[in-house]
Structure 1
Amino acid sequence: MITSIFNKSKPINFTIVFFITFLAFIVLNIKRIEESITATFLLKQAFLFFVCYVSILGLSFIVGKNSLTKKSNYEIVLYSLFLLAIPQTVGNPDIIYANFFVLLGYRRIISLRSQISVNKKLFDAAFWFGIAALFYFWAILFFLLIVISLLLYTDNNIKHWLIPFTGLLAVFLISVCLSIIWYDSFFEIFDSLPEVSYNFSNYNSIQYLIIITMLFSFGVWASIFYIKNIKQKKKVLRPSYYVVLFAVLIGFLIIVFAPNKNGSEFLFLFAPLAIIIANYIEIIQERWFKELFLSIIIIAPFVILLL
């Protein structure tokens, strides 16, 4: 019943995802509202919601364009449910913007499989990751995906290895120019300095313990089958699947390094993890188990909200 709704790309699925994401914003603002409700506040929240929803549409485009799933909508449903399970992920504007630009970088890296306009795609990916790092420093770790992609494609063209660094350099130079114009200082705009914290005490709550356990257990289980299934994919598609896998690991590293562990840092993990779990759902043969698996993921966020 449930799987029949999302196993194909349908307009109603995007409507469902829209309302789940909207509910995540409502839950966050009910629990953590700290400022009076004004027109400015509502406009700010509306814009953040718009960026989040466009990010979901972007994820759907990346997955569909590069055949990362079997033309289902599981990945966007999972993504929106993750937002609802940890509504704090929609509470940090900087991370929301950084994640948006990271997704733009994903799109360019994964599209390398076509081997068309490689130079432009490498530059664009590095440029978007650089922009993301301006909002949240540790997003710069996704630059590693470019290096990994070049290794996966066994690219020995030295120019392709240098181009990504010109993308970062372009972001740096543009940022310095803007800093001079706005602040009359060369480096004032770089206010996101590299900080690290290994204090995980904020996760010591029922909400975090349940959702972290669910994400970790489901993620590891799905990843095992995901890795096995990569070998059955066409050779030209395999690097894209490995990039998604490494993106999950980078998202996990960001959670470990995050200086302020308030839950918002999990956002970087959601997109690649949603793709991996979506792939697992698609290969489940037993109908009853597929329904049960997806039902647990759907019900869990609503149960957590009641705790």
Structure 2
Amino acid sequence: MGWSYLWIPFTAVLSVALFHFITIKNEFISSNSYGLWMYSCLFITGLLFTREMNFYIAYLFLLLSLRRVLSMHTGKQMTKKIFDASLWICIACIFYSWSIIFFSILFISIIIHAFKKLNYWAIPCIAIATVSILTFTIDQFSYLNLWSNFLDGFNYYINYDNIDFSSSLVVFLVFAMLCLVFSICLLMGIPNISLSARSRFSVLGFTGICVAIDYILNGSSLLSIIVIAIFLTRILQYSNRKILVESVLWVPFLILMVSLFLK
């Protein structure tokens, strides 16, 4: 039984490394331990309520995709970055079908950085075709049934007529709500951000909105911990009030403790 959870530490380490790279590289937060503390507590909270390996594998690929999307602000190697981001999302869809929602983030980024470049809009289609052909080929020579599993993934949704408020649903609801509120705050605060960083914060804000949509459709909001961790860390960085800083530092820990109690 214990062997089946060996993927957890590897996933945790990789996700923390990707989070640190994304946040520092894009200057969302300063190089300090606040962000890692926030992210780690929230990630552990997520692990308490869902341990589906496929979901976390998809999560890692979505982080890789987000990394490439955010790097589009440089304007260099756009074709490669769009293809890479599309490819990672497509692979994530194999493990978690609703990852397809995050194509909207890529298209928003294209609108922001290269709206008039019509050839850029065709690149995601090439990536989709590539992964589709590979998936179909693998299905022909194996019993993995990747295509059918992808399509079956859309059959699961929240039945709001007969909803069961389980502890996991409540925790991810809190994640989704915080993510949505913080994303709106980030988007509303865009005018106060330097011109060079506005595109990156716009992408981050729309990512949070996509996470909220994902929760409404499927009850999942793990990717929200990135937005929440970044927003709370920025509060710590730019606040001069010691009481506020200490209070915010306790937020992810309290969420973790409450989650343990609910569990």
TM category (shorter chain) comes to 0.7 to 0.9
Within 1, Cα distance between the matches of 2:236 and 2:215? 25
**Runs of 5+ in structure 1 lacking a partner?**
1-36
Q: Say if 1:162 and 1:61 are closer, same or farther in 2 by CA, change over 3 A.
A: same
Select 2:253's aligned residue among 279, 298, 302: 298
Deviations 1:34-82 (A, max 9, x none): xxx3xxx42x312232023201111111111111112233333222212
Contact 1:223–1:277 under 8 Å retained in 2: no
Quote the residue 2:244 is aligned against: 289
The reply to whether residue 131 of structure 1 matches residue 94 of structure 2 is: no
2:215 to 255, 273, 285: 255
Structure 1's 256 and 211: CA in aligned 2 closer, same or farther, altered over 3 A?
closer
**Percent identical:** 21
Amino acid of the residue matched to residue 216 of structure 1?
Answer: M
Superposition deviation, residue 215 in structure 1: 6.3
269, 272, 278: which one pairs with 2:227? Answer: 272
CA deviation vs aligned residue, 1:162-184 (integer Å, no higher than 9, x gap): 11211111111111111112149
CA deviations 1:257-303 (Å, max 9, x no partner) are 11xx5xxx231222233223322332223121111122233233124
Moved more, 147-156 or 56-65: 147-156
- For the aligned residue pairs, the C-alpha RMSD in angstroms reads 2.7
1:203 maps to: 165
The Cα of 1:213 is off from its aligned counterpart by: 4.3
Letter in 1 for 2:196: V
Equivalent residue, structure 2, for 1:216: 177
Deviation, 1:191, is 5.5
What whole-Å deviation, never above 9, does each CA across 1:9-48 have from its counterpart, x for those lacking one? xxxxxxxxxxxxxxxxxxxxxxxxxxxx3xxx42x31223
Counterpart contact for 2:29–2:233, Cα < 8 Å: yes
Match of 1:73 in 2: 33
Match in the other structure for 1:226: 186
List aligned pairs for 1:1-307, cutoff 5 A.
37=1, 41-42=2-3, 44-183=4-143, 187-188=147-148, 190=150, 192-199=152-159, 201-205=163-167, 209=170, 212-213=173-174, 216=177, 220=181, 222-223=182-183, 225-258=185-218, 261=219, 265-307=220-262
- TM-score with structure 2 length normalisation? 0.87
Task: From the two aligned structures, give the one with the greater helix fraction.
Answer: 2
Cα distance in 1 between the residues matched to 2:32 and 2:80: 30
Whether the aligned pair in 2 keeps the contact of 1:137 and 1:194 (CA below 8 Å) is yes
